[in-house]
Each structure stands twice: as structure tokens, then as C-alpha cells.
């Protein structure tokens, strides 16, 4: 019986992939109508130094829900769109709206002969699956789980990805959590009528879906192969904004990559190692270590690349990290960051510029101050004079060795430039020079007051 079911799964998978390939044949793989930066800006947070106004994550997801005609595929860490009890201040309205949109869209796609498919981490007490389970039980979605312990010995899927009809997509830092829409600062990329990127993202989703019912193979089926990587990037045109683009997608962990795919850490290292003028980074966490396994293991790959860049090549480094109450229990992160900041002003043949700041989001109301894992800068991106890197991964070794994540790497050059790249850099400049940043200072046990973290 088990052998029969396994064969049936393979047959169904092949038929599904064939359908997807045929449906994509009429799409222009060199086009992208809209490619834009979208953000979640926490309630009440303003920037006195900037008038940047990017579309919200909520609006981006709603646009994808409305645009989906046959298939909508979602890969997420977890779902928590409808908190119980509800948010004190009503800021869960966006999350509830997204869930209701998924319910309606799922039924609409099913009636059209398509499907809403969701893959996320194996649920546990900390991250239950009520939202996705309810969608499945209502017949609106097919839901599968990735068991990383069974697949590779441990880890999680940390990807945040939506793809509709191999044409529309969201990729960024926002979890399917109501707080990620209204109480956490997030950044992502929205593509509409953008098969150039969406078709390659589809292959990464299909690998996730495949691994929900199959072990990690020595060689993935050829249908998952890509022709695009760091050696052969995607070349396409965007209409809004109008520009010539060159980009490629990278994935983690390495075990989830076909041999034709550039592995996540290799893509990031290419961005860091090719920079000649500056490296500007926003990321929530920075640890040159494997931190989710005991004992921790030193993992200096990214840290070494940054140090070589600033010391050997004279590249300016600006690193902006997020800070929220749970970080206060991890003073070792300050030690790693202060070591990197200590390079600033050093060097005998040139003066090294290596600056680190903290981005702190205030709580403006008592209700906001009582939130957990919120009021934080959760964005994950890098801009250099050559590349723009938008990711779903934080920066500890675990996110590159045993965690599911995807990053979009775009070249800044080309005729007409990379319009979306310029917007990402504007976001960094706004954040770096805003009133919400503070110089790096100690935190941890007994140091909460020193950080002046705003609480009620």
C-alpha cells in the first residue's frame, strides 16, 4: 500500500509540474510589469527625515490575492493571522483580512480547477497551525508541512514567499503573522505580471512541496533544475519603474538546492566580495556562529568577508541591527557587533570605516509595549554599489546551513539602472539617519536601562 501511495504521489507531482510548465509557456520570461519595494511600518512609527512612501505588505498580498486566477502557492514559517485573544488595539485587522482573503481566494481557485497550496514548518506548541488548518478543513487550501528534523536532522523553513500563476509574487521578511503587518518593520519585493522571476521562484516552491512527502534525494528530479544562477542571471525589463534588470535567486540550506542553483551563502558572499565602495546592511540579528544548536559553533564566513572588505579593500561598512526586548537576553550579540565596530578608524595604509548602529522601535501605547516579538526592525537586505540583496534570512550560520530561505540578488547597473535597487537604498539611508537609531552599546542582563528601550 505504501509503495502504491508513493507511486501515486510521484505521478500526481509529474502531472502537476507538467501543467505548470504548459501554463507558463505563454508567459514572456523577459518581462516584468511591476517590481516594487513594499514595507510594513509599525503603527505610529514615523520618519522625520524622509517622505518615502512605499506600498504596504498588506496591500501587496491583497493585490496577489486579487490577481490569482488558477494557482496560489505560499511558503511560510508559520501562520498567526487571527490572534486569540484578539489584539487590544485592533491592529490584527490586517491579518484577519488576509486570512479571509485566503479563504475566499482558495475556494475561487478550486472552483476554477486550480488550488491554493500552503507549505510551512511542522507545527508545535509555540507555532500551531490553526489558521492554515482551518483553511484546509474548509476545503480552501491544500496544506503540507516540512519536517526539517526528519529531512536534514534539524532546522526550520524561514521562507516568506507567495507566488500566483507563475506571474505574481511576494518575497521578503514578513511572516504570516498579524504583527508582521502592523507591529514589525519589514521589507520585501512585489512582482506583478513578472514571470521572469516568478517562474524561477516556482521551482523553489515545488522543491519544498516535493520534500513534504519525500526524503532529500542525492539528485533532485530534473524538472526542478534552473538555468539561472550567479553565472547566468535572469535578464528582463521592468515597466514600472522602467529599467533593464539582471537578477538571480539563491536558496538555503544547500541540501534543498539542485546542482544548477546558486547556494544561499555563495550568493551573499558574491555580493560582499565584489563590493568596492560600500556595504550597507539591515538585518535583525548578527552572529558569526551556529546559535540554535548546543554547543554553539563558530561560523565566521560572513564576518570574515566583511572584515576583508573594510580592511583589505577600503570598503565602507554600515550595519544596522534590530533590537527588541528578547535580544536583551543575548549579550553575546553585542560582543560580536562591537568587535566588528572596533575596526572603525584602524588601518595603517587607509582609515577603515566600519560602523554599527541599533534600530529601536518605540512602543507608543501600553498595548504596544505588551506585545512579544514585535516593535522591531525585521528587514533583511544589503545594498552595495553593485548589488541589492533582499532576503528572508537573519545572519547567523544556522540560516545558511540548516534553515529554508530564499534571497533575490539584483545587479544595480544596466541601461536605465535598477529602479527597485535605488528604492531599497533610499530605505537604508532613511533608516540609518533616522531618530530611531542609536550607537551600539551594551545590552543584556542588567543593561536594559542602558539601551533606553522605550517601555510603559
Catalytic one of 120, 160, 168, 185: 160
* Residues 449, 456: Cα–Cα separation, whole Å: 13
Phi, psi (rounded to 5 degrees) for 347: 100, 140
According to DSSP, the residues that pair with 237 across neighbouring strands are 31, 244
Q: Is 329 helix (H, G, I), strand (E, B) or coil?
A: helix
Annotated catalytic, 165?
A: yes
Catalytic one of 80, 129, 131, 165: 165
Annotated catalytic, 326?
A: no
* Residues 401, 255: Cα–Cα separation, whole Å: 9
Find out whether the peptide bond into 253 is cis, omega within 30 degrees of 0.
yes
Question: Which grid coordinates belong to 69?
Answer: 486566477
Question: Which grid coordinates belong to 338?
Answer: 562591537
Annotated catalytic, 168?
A: no
* Residues 363, 365: Cα–Cα separation, whole Å: 6
The total number of residues shown for the chain amounts to 456
Catalytic one of 73, 92, 129, 158: 158
Q: Is 429 helix (H, G, I), strand (E, B) or coil?
A: helix
Find out whether the peptide bond into 85 is cis, omega within 30 degrees of 0.
yes
According to DSSP, the residues that pair with 50 across neighbouring strands are none
Annotated catalytic, 92?
A: no
DSSP for residue 215: P
Dihedral sign from CA coordinates of 406, 412, 414, 420: positive
* Residues 86, 416: Cα–Cα separation, whole Å: 47
Phi, psi (rounded to 5 degrees) for 127: -135, 75
Q: How many helices and strands, by DSSP H and E, does the chain display?
A: 14, 21
Catalytic one of 185, 203, 357, 378: 378
35, 191 contact by CB (below 8 A): yes
Cβ neighbour number for residue 409 with a 10 Å cutoff: 22
Report which of 399, 125, 454, 432 is spatially closest to residue 267, judged by C-alpha positions.
Answer: 399
Residue corresponding to grid cell 539591515 = 282
423, 39 contact by CB (below 8 A): no
303, 283 contact by CB (below 8 A): no
Q: Which residues are catalytic?
A: 158, 160, 165, 378
Amino acid at each position: 500500500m505504501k509503495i502504491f501511495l508513493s507511486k501515486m504521489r510521484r505521478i500526481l507531482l509529474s502531472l502537476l509540474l507538467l501543467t505548470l510548465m504548459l501554463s507558463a509557456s505563454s508567459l514572456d520570461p523577459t518581462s516584468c510589469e511591476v517590481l516594487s519595494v513594499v514595507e510594513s511600518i509599525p503603527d505610529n512609527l514615523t520618519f522625520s527625515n524622509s517622505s518615502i512612501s512605499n506600498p504596504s505588505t498588506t496591500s501587496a498580498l491583497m493585490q496577489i490575492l486579487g490577481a490569482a486566477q488558477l494557482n496560489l502557492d505560499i511558503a511560510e514559517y508559520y501562520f498567526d493571522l487571527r490572534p486569540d485573544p484578539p489584539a487590544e488595539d485592533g491592529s490584527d485587522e490586517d491579518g484577519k483580512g488576509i486570512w479571509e482573503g485566503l479563504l475566499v481566494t482558495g475556494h475561487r481557485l478550486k472552483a476554477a480547477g486550480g488550488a491554493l497550496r500552503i507549505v510551512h514548518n511542522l507545527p508545535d506548541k509555540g507555532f500551531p497551525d490553526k489558521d492554515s488548518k482551518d483553511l484546509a478543513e474548509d476545503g480552501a487550501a491544500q496544506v503540507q508541512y516540512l519536517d526539517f528534523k526528519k529531512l536534514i536532522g534539524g532546522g526550520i523553513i524561514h521562507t516568506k514567499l507567495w507566488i500566483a500563476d507563475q506571474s505574481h509574487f511576494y518575497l521578503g521578511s514578513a511572516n504570516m503573522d498579524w504583527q508582521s503587518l502592523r507591529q514589525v518593520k519589514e521589507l520585501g519585493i512585489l512582482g506583478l505580471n513578472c514571470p521572469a522571476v516568478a517562474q524561477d521562484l516556482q521551482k523553489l516552491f515545488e522543491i519544498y512541496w516535493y520534500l513534504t512527502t519525500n526524503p532529500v534525494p542525492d539528485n533532485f528530479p530534473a524538472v526542478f533544475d534552473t538555468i539561472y544562477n550567479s553565472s547566468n542571471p535572469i535578464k528582463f525589463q521592468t515597466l514600472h519603474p522602467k529599467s533593464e534588470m539582471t537578477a538571480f535567486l539563491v536558496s538555503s540550506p544547500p541540501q534543498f538546492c539542485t546542482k544548477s542553483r546558486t547556494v544561499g551563502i555563495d550568493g551573499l558572499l558574491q555580493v560582499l566580495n565584489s563590493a568596492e565602495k560600500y556595504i550597507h546592511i539591515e538585518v535583525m540579528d548578527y552572529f558569526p556562529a551556529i546559535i540554535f544548536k548546543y554547543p554553539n559553533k563558530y561560523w565566521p564566513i560572513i564576518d570574515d568577508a566583511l572584515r576583508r572588505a573594510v580592511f583589505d579593500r577600503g570598503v565602507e561598512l554600515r550595519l544596522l541591527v534590530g533590537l527588541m526586548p528578547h535580544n536583551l537576553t543575548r549579550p553575546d550579540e553585542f560582543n560580536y557587533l562591537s568587535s566588528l565596530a572596533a575596526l572603525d578608524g584602524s588601518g595603517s595604509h587607509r582609515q577603515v570605516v566600519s560602523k554599527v548602529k541599533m534600530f529601536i522601535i518605540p512602543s507608543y501605547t501600553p498595548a504596544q509595549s505588551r506585545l512579544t516579538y514585535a516593535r522591531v526592525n525585521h528587514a533583511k537586505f544589503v545594498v552595495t554599489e553593485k548589488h541589492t540583496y533582499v532576503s528572508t534570512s537573519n545572519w547567523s550560520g544556522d540560516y545558511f546551513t540548516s534553515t529554508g530561505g530564499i534571497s533575490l540578488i539584483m545587479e544595480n547597473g544596466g541601461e536605465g539602472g535598477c529602479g527597485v535597487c535605488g528604492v531599497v537604498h533610499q530605505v537604508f539611508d532613511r533608516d540609518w539617519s533616522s531618530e530611531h537609531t542609536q550607537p551600539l552599546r551594551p545590552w543584556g542582563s542588567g543593561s536594559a536601562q542602558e539601551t533606553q528601550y522605550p517601555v510603559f
